[in-house]
C-alpha cells in the first residue's frame, strides 16, 4: 500500500505558526548583540534560530506543494481535537486558574480527582485513593525532600 502523500489536517497552519515563531526568535537573538562579531553572545542563538527559519521555509514549501487531505474543519476536529483531549485541556486551564486561590495542595487534589475520574471511569473511592496517594507522593518529594515552597492560595490561607 503506497503511503498517503496528502496534507494532514492543520499541518499547513502549524508550519506557518512554527515559521513565525522561528522568525520572532531570530529577531530576538539579533537584539542580543546584533551582527557585531563572531564571539558575541547572540551568535549561537542567531545560528540556531536561523537554521529554524531556513528549515521552516523548506518544510513550508514541501507542505504547500502536497495536496490537501480533504475533510476540512470536521477532519481536524475529529483527528486533532477529540473530546477527551479538549476536556483535559479545559481541566488543566481551570487548575492553573484556581491554584492562586485554592493553593497547590487543594487545587492539585481536586485536579487529580476529577481528571483520574474522567479518564479512568472506575470506582470513586479507588479514584480518590489513587489521587490521595499521588498527591501525598508529590507533596513529600517537592515540599519535604526538595523543600520547594508550594503556593498556599488566598482563599484557604490558614489551612495549608
Task: Judge whether 130 and 116 are in contact, CB under 8 Å.
Answer: yes
Whether residue 71 sits in one domain with residue 87: no
Number of domains in the chain: 2
* Residues 11-24 pLDDT 10s: 999 999 999 999 99
Q: Judge whether 6 lies within some domain.
A: no
d(CA 121, CA 140): 27
* Residues 113-147 pLDDT 10s: 999 999 999 999 999 999 999 999 999 999 999 99
Task: Judge whether 90 and 114 are in contact, CB under 8 Å.
Answer: no
Q: Judge whether 20 lies within some domain.
A: yes
Q: Judge whether 151 lies within some domain.
A: no
* Residues 82-96 pLDDT 10s: 999 999 999 999 999
Q: Which residue has the higher pLDDT, 86 or 158?
A: 86
Q: Which residue has the higher pLDDT, 130 or 152?
A: 130
Whether residue 26 sits in one domain with residue 41: yes
Q: Which domain holds residue 132?
A: 82-145
* Domain boundary residue, one of 25, 59, 77: 77
Report, as an integer, the average pLDDT of 32-52. 87
Cell numbers at residue 81, please?
Answer: 481535537
Amino acid at each position: 500500500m503506497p503511503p498517503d502523500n496528502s496534507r494532514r489536517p492543520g499541518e499547513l497552519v502549524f508550519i506557518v505558526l512554527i515559521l513565525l515563531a522561528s522568525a520572532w526568535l531570530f529577531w530576538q537573538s539579533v537584539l542580543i548583540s546584533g551582527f557585531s562579531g563572531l564571539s558575541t553572545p547572540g551568535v549561537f542563538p542567531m545560528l540556531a534560530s536561523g537554521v529554524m527559519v531556513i528549515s521552516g521555509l523548506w518544510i513550508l514549501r514541501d507542505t504547500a506543494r502536497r495536496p490537501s487531505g480533504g475533510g476540512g474543519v470536521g477532519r481536524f476536529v475529529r483527528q486533532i481535537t477529540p473530546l477527551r483531549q479538549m476536556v483535559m485541556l479545559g481541566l488543566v486551564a481551570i487548575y492553573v486558574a484556581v491554584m492562586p486561590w485554592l493553593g497547590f495542595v487543594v487545587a492539585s487534589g481536586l485536579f487529580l480527582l476529577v481528571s483520574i475520574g474522567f479518564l479512568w471511569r472506575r470506582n470513586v473511592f479507588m479514584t480518590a485513593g489513587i489521587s490521595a496517594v499521588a498527591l501525598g507522593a508529590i507533596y513529600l518529594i517537592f515540599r519535604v525532600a526538595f523543600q520547594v515552597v508550594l503556593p498556599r492560595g488566598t482563599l484557604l490561607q490558614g489551612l495549608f
